[in-house]
Amino acid sequence: MNTQSNFWQYNKTVLMFAVVALTMPFWFPLMGGYSGLDTKIMIFCIFVVGFDILLGFTGYLSFGHAAFFGISAYVTGIMLKNFSDNIIPAMLVAVAAATVVALIIGLLTLKRTGIYFSILTLAFAEMFDSMAMSMLQRWTGGENGLTGLPTPMLFDLKMQGDTVFYFCALMAIALFYFAKRIERSPVGLMMKAIKCNQTRLEYTGINARRYKLLAFVLSAIYAAIAGSLMVVYEPFVGHEFLGWHQSGEIVIMSVIGGVGTLVGPMLGAAFMLYFENVMSVNLGEQWLLVLGVIFMAVVIFMPGGFMEAMARLKKRFFTTIDGE
């Protein structure tokens, strides 16, 4: 019995996320979310949770994670078009390709810290973007994007509508659980120690560089899975998948939600996609202005994002009760 309650305690956030995610098709349309947006939210949840392993745990801010998202999306598209419309081989090859690229970029960029690391990752991502637009145009479709993809199949199952949503939601739950496990493992402790005091960590017998590389590659794998799922969700690859705009969006989602909390960035992703698509109907292009104001307000008044806001509310609520 004790182990049962421990299990609940241990996996509370994951189970709560699972319930929210799996019931989404029922309540999300009531909020005005169009069908398919929920799938996109799940995909970006995967992207930002992975990104939080790098930014939230180790404190390394990458401005180039669109590279892994985009490369994986293109490889998935090319595989679906030319090899087989089954998504399993396509996704495996895509994630493997992005992982190899991440290893190389990680080895080169992690020699630097702070702003230099950010600029280097941005430079690498832009390099892949311009390659997709020029020398690789034959495969990527250049400015027009990669079009004419078949309907993706999961063996005999057509990946359309709710099937895609549940596929993405299950992936998101599994990957969130995985991230939580990492956070609670010795590896997670070392990664967080990198953010606190890297010199002390090295003088405590830990090879910080290898843990940084591990965090970088893991976050790239998450980005790659998200990129691949984007193509499953909508059989098209646009060149904006690789752009710096995409990288920036992930950073904004993470900051708004609360860096380092895993749950926060997912809230940030859901918030941004929801407002971008639902609110922009009312606000039009002004939406970006509103987002800018929200972003500044969060950074100035609440650097911990939504999670900090929630913690503050909870504290105020409970202290009044305690004060009775």
Partner 1 sequence: MAILDIHQVSLSFGGLKALQNVNLKIEKGTTHALIGPNGAGKSTLLNVLTGMLKPDDGSVMFDGKPLLNVNSYDINQLGIAKVFQTPAIFPEMTVLQNVTIPVFAARDGCFNMNMFEGRSKQRPLIEFAEQQICELGLEKHMNMMAGSLSRGDKRRLEMAICLANKPRLLLLDEPTAGMARHETEKTIELLRSINDGITKVIVEHDMNVVFSLSDKISVLSQGQIIAEGSPTQIKGHPKVIEAYLGEAQV
Which residues bind to partner 1, rule: CB under 8 A?
10, 181-182, 184-190, 192-193, 195-197, 199-208, 210-211, 214
Distance separating alpha carbons of residues 290 and 271, to the nearest angstrom: 13
User: Which of 35, 197 has the CB closer to partner 1?
Assistant: 197
> Any idea which residue has 């109907």 for tokens?
281
Identity of the amino acid at 297: A
Using DSSP, state whether 85 is helix, strand or coil.
Answer: coil
> Any idea which residue has 């098209």 for tokens?
236
Whether residue 253 contacts residue 44, with contact meaning beta carbons closer than 8 Å, is answered with yes
User: Which of 46, 182 has the CB closer to partner 1?
Assistant: 182
User: Which of 193, 250 has the CB closer to partner 1?
Assistant: 193
Whether residue 98 contacts residue 121, with contact meaning beta carbons closer than 8 Å, is answered with no
- Nearest distance from residue 185's CB to partner 1, in Å? 5
- Nearest distance from residue 181's CB to partner 1, in Å? 5
User: Which of 188, 265 has the CB closer to partner 1?
Assistant: 188
User: Which of 152, 188 has the CB closer to partner 1?
Assistant: 188
Phi-psi region of 235 (alpha: psi -120 to 50; beta: other; left: phi over 0): beta
- Nearest distance from residue 56's CB to partner 1, in Å? 12
User: Which of 211, 222 has the CB closer to partner 1?
Assistant: 211
- Nearest distance from residue 202's CB to partner 1, in Å? 5
Own/partner long-range contacts of 8-12 (Cβ < 8 Å, ≥24 apart): 11/177, 11/180
Whether residue 148 contacts residue 262, with contact meaning beta carbons closer than 8 Å, is answered with no
- Nearest distance from residue 260's CB to partner 1, in Å? 9
Lookup: tokens for 100: 């190899």
- Nearest distance from residue 177's CB to partner 1, in Å? 11
User: Which of 129, 183 has the CB closer to partner 1?
Assistant: 183
User: Which of 198, 247 has the CB closer to partner 1?
Assistant: 198
Distance separating alpha carbons of residues 118 and 79, to the nearest angstrom: 31
Q: Tell me 236's DSSP state.
A: -
Using DSSP, state whether 234 is helix, strand or coil.
Answer: coil
- Nearest distance from residue 212's CB to partner 1, in Å? 11
User: Which of 223, 237 has the CB closer to partner 1?
Assistant: 223
- Nearest distance from residue 198's CB to partner 1, in Å? 10
Phi-psi region of 260 (alpha: psi -120 to 50; beta: other; left: phi over 0): left
DSSP states along 168-188: HHHHHHHHHHHHHHHHHSHHH
Kindly report the number of other CB atoms within 10 A of residue 148's CB atom: 9
Whose CA is closest to 25, among 13, 35, 40?
35
- Nearest distance from residue 150's CB to partner 1, in Å? 36
